[in-house]
Amino acid sequence: MTQDFRLAKGGRVDRDKPLRFLFDGVAYDGLAGDTLASALLANGIHLVARSFKYHRPRGIFGLGLEEPNALVETGIGAAVEPNARATAVELADGLIANSQNNWPSLRFDIGAASDLLSPLFSAGFYYKTFMGPAGAWKFYEWLIRRAAGVGRAPDLPDPDRYEHSYAHTDVLVIGAGPAGLSAALSAGRAGARVLLVDDQVEPGGQLLNTSYTVNGRPAIDWVAEATAELDRLPDARRFARTVAFGAYDHGYVACVERAVPVTQGHVRWRERIWHVRATEIVLAAGAIERPIIFDGNDRPGTMLASAARGYANRYGVASGRRAVVFANNDDAYRSALDLAEAGVEVAAIVDLRPDPSGTLPALAREKGIRVLSGHAVVGTRGRARLKAVEAAPIDDASRRQVIECDLLAVSGGWNPALHLYAHAGGKAAYAKALAAFVPGTPADRMSIVGSAAGEFTLARCLADGSRAGAEAARRAGFTASQPSLVLDADEPEADARIGPTVAPSRGGKRFVDLHNDVTEADLRLAVREGYRSVEHAKRYTTWGMGPDQGKTGNILGLSVLSDALGQEVPQVGTTTFRPPYHPVSFGALAGRDTGDLVVPLRKTPMDSWHEKQGALFEPVGQWRRAKAYPKPGESMHHAAEREVKAARESVGLFDASTLGKIDIRGPGAAALIDRVYCNAFASLKPGNARYGLMLGEDGMLKDDGVTARLGPDHFHMTTTTGGAASVYVWIEDWLQTEWLDLEVYLTSVTEQWAVATLSGPKARQVLGPLTDVDLAAGAFPFMAFREGRVAGLPARIFRVSFSGDLSYEINVPARHGLALWEALMESGRPHGITPYGTEALHILRAEKGYIVVGHETDGTITPYDLGYGAMVAKKKDYLGRRSLTRSGMTGPDRKHLVGLLTKDPARVLPMGAQIVERPSEVRPLPMIGHVTSSYMSPTMKRGIAMALVKNGRERMGQTVYLPMLDGPTVAAEIVSHVFYDPENQRRDG
Amino acid sequence: MAECAPLDNVIRPGEPNGPSGVALIDRRFIGQVNLRVRGPAVAATGAALGYALPVEANTAVGNGVSRSCWLGPDEWLIVCEDEQRAELMQRLAQALSSHAHAATDVTDARAVLRLAGACARPVLAKGCPLDLHPRRLGPGKVAQSVLARAQIMILPIEEGYDLFVARSFASYVWAWLLDAGAEYGIRVEP
């Protein structure tokens, strides 16, 4: 289709680069440099959306992110992006865009019937209507979500990449308009690192949309020169297409950048979150033009005057053939003059002020534009497109005149964009002369300049920006002397007076918040119903709560509330701006935290061997550990059973590399160990190891493990896999803050050592041929440590056991882990050596009655509860000792660790099952404990379980009951938790 | 450091083999000794190393044989060639024989990945929240931080960084760097 509304000349579009795009299935042409909105307007399309609640036809209203109406869906399939502002979608060849929230079509939308019922849908409609019956809300919600709303998110995986990056800067400048650009330039000249972010494709801000001059030349030339100089500075960076959406503590500002659209193929990334850390922030976010409340103010063809001016100046597009400008301020005359200059017939300027008489109104009159002063627009005509407006004197609605037009450009003054200032903690102050909020209290590290500060003249924007940039650089520590910017902005003087923002009503629909379909009547109703607080009125009516966050409607609503409450605006107060300034996609927030990159997968030095063997893995913290090594056709349980049998009857091999390991050295090392374990360690001789119980300050078991004394002042402590980091930090904390008397040094060596555990009666035969260490029981007894070589590798061997059978834990430097493992497998081949995983490990240790911290403990279990009372030292002091003497730490209410044998030996109890004294149909039953570990024991050939049971040691031989969720109650006998080799003959042999 | 925009090295249509702005190199084994000493032992260590241990936070000094990285008020990581490690351990043991100390060989505990080239900084900046500007983190400095979800020690080199990462995290960090570097045309070098 032809671009009938494209002006013959002007604009920053590239007339040599036509682009074709689809809107609602119809192909249109636009130009490089267009937004979707400007391209649609060039084709005479205003109607692009149906409104949120009433499905009213809506047209393009704004020029950028402030757009409340023109929300469209872009892309197809999985790449659909709902709720894109047509005004912020960069046109690309082949762009596919569709209107949303209508059925069957944009032009004929059945949902618009709700507009006829709108008296029913007043403020608080949901609260008043959907009150019952109970449970019916689910249906109502489904209905409401279908009828009302915005776009739909695609339910396919997002095919695009989203990135994150950190950026640090001395001075962050938000907004590349005249104030921001001059701030960035003067900060950069001072030598500061500068980052300039702006949501537009090119810098310039309002200078792109207007016809100002600087130093006698078009302002846009100055923009080009300033940008070029900035780009030459070594430490200045400029992000275009980047929205600063949130300002947080300590100069942290979150921004999102969208990629340059490509016409072919995929962009490498679609959006990038920039985590910016700034020493100083200059907020030059500009201002957003305010609409006026009048009857029929949502008719397509109605738009902000600044938008109509921008479409003409920046995109070479006439938003209509014949325009009426509805104004309450002088700046609207600039819009009118620019429209006239572009060739749009300006039928009239309807000015709410009784006597517009400054330079600009005079200029307009000179150009032959009719000015209706003291008038208001009191109605609009047309359905899906404006055909005429009705204007009348403010004080006499009967003297109505109808002015035919297809464009109504509305200007109610300007609102500084103070959202990020509010995020940073600033409290705005009301400036009555501007009918707007301006910066009040200081905000952390932030200076606000230009029209964001309520300074609306170009000269002030340039001068204040330049000064603010230099000052920000100075505060950040940069004082290099610099030539100051000398800029002369020539502009006709504007009359600063602002008229009312509300036109007289004749009973028509008057929207305050176009996005959420909130009318003036809704707000007045809210006040009548008692919602007098601004925050309550907001939530009751949903005014300002849409995705646009009230960018155009906020201040209008305040003036309505002010009138309804009979209070001045400052007394009414304001709602609070919170991040994000502009909606941010979930994809952008997630970034590359997707797939395998979400959580690190820690691998042991032998991991590749396990993987080659087809091991089943299980996550343990961030580690992946081999759970079992099933043979083809074997289930995990069968594999574990086979592995347990091998470790009991011949020999098994286990990868224990994940165990936490801490090297502890220094003259105070022995004293330290004695303080962190509740059992005695001072007597431990070099070359020996001991199992230690570590309590928290609360006396509860925190961690456990074997610690070996390598030398008089040198220990090797092992911790649980999960406790490795926390135990290290905890002991370091004690050393640094409380135990300054001890000279001890900790070094984490978890990752330095690969650990392979040989376990089973044949372990000695497997290790013997590989090592120079004497393995004879007398020479190397249980709980001893030896250093030597294994398979030619330097090794530390600990004779400890977590299975209850003869066992050696062999440590070698991690680079040799795989070689050690393969050598052991080779040496064990004649003995049927079998690698075993964590499932078999758990069965083996449960058979032997060994605890696992986190299974048999849960932060409320003392050593006494576990039956380890005899280990607890009586004389020395240790962490948790005092807590153990508290009342309640002993007595019949404590739970004890016991074993459970089900009456039916084939039965395996579920872990976590609750235990009761006697079965009953009456629920709830008093619970006396729970199952902590439970397995089918290949060695005992029956189900075994460990449990914590109230006063359990006094209940030996008692039958207890375990009610099941999915079947009859199970009976079990309380027994010792050591099922296998209670005399330790196999372990110590 | 040459400037490098995020899309400088994106392969564009008609340009199937765009330039690569960054290389990833697995340095395999770099000798690492974790040293913890206080008081007079600090000077004794300096005598053994041939240079004084750095006492300013987050700095690194060295000579042709070793480089010592400040990790804390009483903790350093001494980095050398893998082959030099045994001798270094021995020299430290001798020099510190009359001082309480802990010199622990942790060579195998960490992988060292080198990120080199003009785009090394923007790649690292995708996952490390520190200020990587050469003014803050150039040669002579060292930093302990995170990269995505892994702890790292960063040792800047002339144009790039040596990243020290716990051995078990190495494959995750490797995959993360290749993914993050994709937009800069990252290549793996021997």
The ipTM is 0.93
Give chain A positions within 8 Å (CB) of B126.
163-166
Pick from B167, B174, B177 the residue to mutate for testing the A interface (most A CBs within 10 Å). Answer: B167
Q: How is residue A385 annotated by DSSP?
A: S
A521: region left, alpha or beta (phi > 0 left; psi from -120 to 50 alpha): alpha
Cis peptide before A924 (omega within 30 of 0): yes
| Token duo for residue A310 | 């921008």
Q: Alpha-carbon torsion A950, A953, A954, A960, what sign?
A: positive
Q: Which residue has the tokens 């978890």?
A: A750
Which candidate from A264, A600, A747 shows the least CB-CB separation from B149?
A600
User: Which A positions 590-609 lie with beta carbon below 8 A of chain B?
Assistant: 592, 596-597, 599-605
* Residue B24 vs residues A598, B6, B175: alpha-carbon distances, Å: 21, 18, 11
User: Which residue does chain A place closest to B35, by CA atoms?
Assistant: A747
Stretch A927-955: mean pLDDT, rounded? Answer: 97
Closest CA to A48 of A89, A92, A86, A74: A86
* pLDDT value for B14: 39
Q: What are the φ and ψ backbone dihedral angles of A753, each rounded to 5 degrees?
A: -110, 130
- Whether A904 shows a pLDDT value over 50: the answer reads yes
User: Which residue does chain A place closest to B182, by CA atoms?
Assistant: A268
d(CA A372, CA A367): 15
| Token duo for residue A481 | 């002397």
- Whether A483 shows a pLDDT value over 70: the answer reads no
Which candidate from B136, B166, B171 shows the least CB-CB separation from A751?
B166
Stretch A416-428: mean pLDDT, rounded? Answer: 95
Percent of residues, chain A, with pLDDT higher than 70: 96
Which residues share a beta bridge with A282?
A173, A447
Q: How confident is the model at residue A480 (pLDDT cuts 50, 70, 90)?
A: low
CA of B183 to nearest chain A CA: how many angstroms apart? 7
Stretch A49-66: mean pLDDT, rounded? Answer: 93
CB spacing of B150 vs A600 below 8 angstroms: yes
CA angle A269, A273, A278 (to 5 degrees): 140
Q: Alpha-carbon torsion A821, A827, A829, A833, what sign?
A: negative
* SS3 (DSSP) at A188: helix
d(CA A302, CA A300): 5
d(CA A773, CA A793): 12
CB spacing of B109 vs A814 below 8 angstroms: yes
Contact A514, A298 (CB under 8 A): yes
- Whether A34 shows a pLDDT value over 80: the answer reads yes
Contact A754, A772 (CB under 8 A): no
Contact A397, A270 (CB under 8 A): no
Of the given ranges (A640-644, A815-819, B184-188), which has the lowest mean pLDDT? B184-188
* pLDDT value for A479: 82
Stretch A629-636: mean pLDDT, rounded? Answer: 97
Pick from B4, B108, B135 the residue to mutate for testing the A interface (most A CBs within 10 Å). Answer: B108
Q: How confident is the model at residue B13 (pLDDT cuts 50, 70, 90)?
A: very low
Q: What share of chain B is helix, strand, coil (3-state, %, to 5)?
A: 25, 35, 40
Which candidate from B110, B128, B169 shows the least CB-CB separation from A166?
B128
Higher pLDDT, A919 or A694: A694
Number of other residues whose CB lies within 10 A of the CB of residue A540? 21
Contact A785, A676 (CB under 8 A): no
DSSP string, A661-711: EEEEESTTHHHHHHHHBSB--TTPPTTBEEEEEEE-TTSSEEEEEEEEEEE
Q: What is the dihedral of CA A176, A178, A181, A182, to 10 degrees?
A: -160
Stretch A591-599: mean pLDDT, rounded? Answer: 93
Residue A975: CB partners within 8 Å, gap ≥ 6? A898, A899, A900, A901, A956, A957
d(CA A506, CA A525): 17
CB spacing of A165 vs B168 below 8 angstroms: no
Continuous H helices in A330-388: 331-342, 359-366
Amino acid letter, B2: A
Strands A407-411 and A322-327: parallel
Q: Which residue has the tokens 């299935």?
A: A25
* SS3 (DSSP) at A588: helix
Q: Does A164 touch chain B (CB under 8 A)?
A: yes
Give chain B positions within 8 Å (CB) of A260.
7
Element (H, E) at B91: helix B85-95
d(CA A634, CA A638): 6
Number of other residues whose CB lies within 10 A of the CB of residue B56? 10
CA of B87 to nearest chain A CA: how many angstroms apart? 16
How do residues A770-808 score in pLDDT, each as one tens digit? 999 999 999 999 999 999 999 999 999 999 999 999 999
Which residues share a beta bridge with A931?
A947
How do residues A225-277 score in pLDDT, each as one tens digit? 999 999 999 999 999 999 999 999 999 999 999 998 875 555 578 999 999 99
Strands A345-351 and A371-373: parallel
* Residue A452 vs residues A139, A172, A289: alpha-carbon distances, Å: 45, 15, 12
Kindly report whether the global pTM for this prediction surpasses the value 0.90: yes
CA angle A303, A547, A208 (to 5 degrees): 45
CB spacing of B105 vs A752 below 8 angstroms: yes
Q: Which residue has the tokens 């911290």?
A: A853
| Token duo for residue A603 | 């691998």
Contact A239, A256 (CB under 8 A): no
Which residues share a beta bridge with A943?
A936
CA of B12 to nearest chain A CA: how many angstroms apart? 9
* pLDDT value for B11: 41
Percent of residues, chain A, with pLDDT higher than 90: 83
d(CA B69, CA B85): 15
Superfamily of domain B30-108 in CATH is Heterotetrameric sarcosine oxidase (3.30.70.1520)
The answer to whether the B23-27+109-189 and B30-108 domains have the same CATH topology is no
CB spacing of A268 vs B183 below 8 angstroms: yes
User: Which residue does chain A place closest to B129, by CA atoms?
Assistant: A166
Q: Alpha-carbon torsion A735, A739, A745, A747, what sign?
A: negative
Higher pLDDT, B130 or A110: B130
Stretch A842-858: mean pLDDT, rounded? Answer: 97
* SS3 (DSSP) at A484: coil
d(CA A582, CA A363): 38
Q: How is residue B64 annotated by DSSP?
A: S
Element (H, E) at A636: helix A636-649
User: Which residue does chain B place closest to A608, by CA atoms?
Assistant: B171
* pLDDT value for A131: 64
* pLDDT value for A545: 87
Number of other residues whose CB lies within 10 A of the CB of residue A381? 15
* pLDDT value for A496: 79
Radius of gyration of chain B (CA): 18
User: Which residue does chain B place closest to A669, by CA atoms?
Assistant: B100
Higher pLDDT, A52 or A531: A531
Q: Does A272 touch chain B (CB under 8 A)?
A: yes
d(CA A755, CA A773): 17
Which candidate from A259, A666, A749 shows the least CB-CB separation from B104?
A749
- Whether A182 shows a pLDDT value over 80: the answer reads yes
- Whether B1 shows a pLDDT value over 50: the answer reads no
CATH for B23-27+109-189 (1.10.1040.10, 3.40.50.300, 3.30.200.20, 3.30.1360.120): 3.30.1360.120
* pLDDT value for A147: 63
Number of other residues whose CB lies within 10 A of the CB of residue A588? 22
Pick from A93, A162, A166, A194 the residue to mutate for testing the B interface (most B CBs within 10 Å). Answer: A166
* SS3 (DSSP) at A137: helix
Contact B155, B149 (CB under 8 A): no
Q: Which residue has the tokens 């309590």?
A: A695
Domain residue ranges of chain B, discontinuous segments joined by +: 23-27+109-189, 30-108
Tell how many helices (H) and how many strands (E) occur in chain A: 25, 50
* pLDDT value for A672: 97
| Token duo for residue A18 | 């036509």
Of the given ranges (A193-197, A371-375, A531-535, A908-912), which has the lowest mean pLDDT? A531-535
* pLDDT value for A125: 67
Q: Does A643 touch chain B (CB under 8 A)?
A: no
Q: Does A240 touch chain B (CB under 8 A)?
A: no
Which candidate from A164, A596, A666 shows the least CB-CB separation from B102?
A666
> According to the 3-state scheme, what is the secondary structure of A245-267?
EEECHHHEEEEEEECCCCCCCCC
Q: Which residue has the tokens 């303080």?
A: A675
Angle in degrees, 0-180, between the axes of helices A178-189 and A458-475, rounded to the nearest 10: 30
Q: How is residue A494 annotated by DSSP?
A: P
Stretch A835-855: mean pLDDT, rounded? Answer: 97
Which residues share a beta bridge with A618?
A625
User: Which A positions 248-267 lie with beta carbon below 8 A of chain B?
Assistant: 259-260, 262, 264-265
Stretch A122-140: mean pLDDT, rounded? Answer: 68
> According to the 3-state scheme, what is the secondary structure of A811-843?
EEEHHHHHHHHHHHHHHHHHHCCEECCHHHHHH
* Residue A380 vs residues A73, A159, A387, A641: alpha-carbon distances, Å: 28, 45, 8, 83
* Residue B163 vs residues A814, B60, B166: alpha-carbon distances, Å: 19, 14, 10
Q: What are the φ and ψ backbone dihedral angles of A216, each rounded to 5 degrees?
A: 80, 0
d(CA A635, CA A643): 12
Residue A594: CB partners within 8 Å, gap ≥ 6? none
Residue A983: CB partners within 8 Å, gap ≥ 6? none
Mean pLDDT of chain A: 93
Number of other residues whose CB lies within 10 A of the CB of residue A636? 15
Contact A174, A284 (CB under 8 A): yes
